[in-house]
Structure 1
Amino acid sequence: MPAFVGAVKVNSVSASSILHIGDVYAMSPTSSAKTFAGGGSFNTGDGLKINLDHSYTYVLDKDVMDQNIVGNA
């Protein structure tokens, strides 16, 4: 049965989200990201003491595309 929608105000839609108004059969948002982080980057906890005197993150990524997303299937 069709949906009747009144006035809609959209303030913002983020990069990997879906704006849905009315009837829908299936929705499948997709997104991809690449993160480079060095030693001690994702540590969590209370009272951490991390000593990284000379920490470097070397990134050599020769391929152009890593996670190809072609359409929403």
Structure 2
Amino acid sequence: MPAIVGIVQVVSIGSSGVLNIGDVFQVQPVSSAKTFAGAGSFNTGDGLYVYNALSNTNTYDQDAVDQPIALNV
């Protein structure tokens, strides 16, 4: 059954958002991200004490593409 859509005002859509008006079979937003973080970066809690004397984060990645999304439709 076809959708009947009235007036629509779109103020903004985020960079990874999807807007669909009407009938649709499947909506599948696709995104990819890589995060580098040093020691103790994602620790959470009350009264947390993290001691990192000499710490560095290795960001060298020999792969050209880690998670291809070009033909992921």
- Normalized against structure 1, the TM-score is what? 0.85
Q: Verify the 8 A CA contact 1:18 1:29 in the aligned structure 2.
A: yes
Q: Percent identity?
A: 55
Query: Which consecutive aligned stretches of 4+ in structure 1 deviate over 4 angstroms post-superposition?
Result: none
Question: For residues 69 and 62 of structure 1, do their structure 2 counterparts lie closer, same or farther at Cα, with a shift above 3 Å needed?
Answer: same
User: Alpha-carbon deviations, 1:15-36, whole Å to 9, x = none?
Assistant: 2221111111111111111001
Matched, 1:52 2:47: no
CA distance in structure 1 between the aligned counterparts of 2:10 and 2:45, rounded to whole angstroms:
38
> For 1:71 and 1:9, how far apart are their aligned partners in 2?
31
Structure 1 counterpart of 2:13: 13
2:52 is matched by which residue type in structure 1? L
Which one-letter code corresponds to 1:44 in the other structure?
A: T
Matched-pair contact (CA < 8 Å) for 1:28–1:72: no
Q: TM-score, normalised by structure 2?
A: 0.85
Gaps of 5+ in 2: none
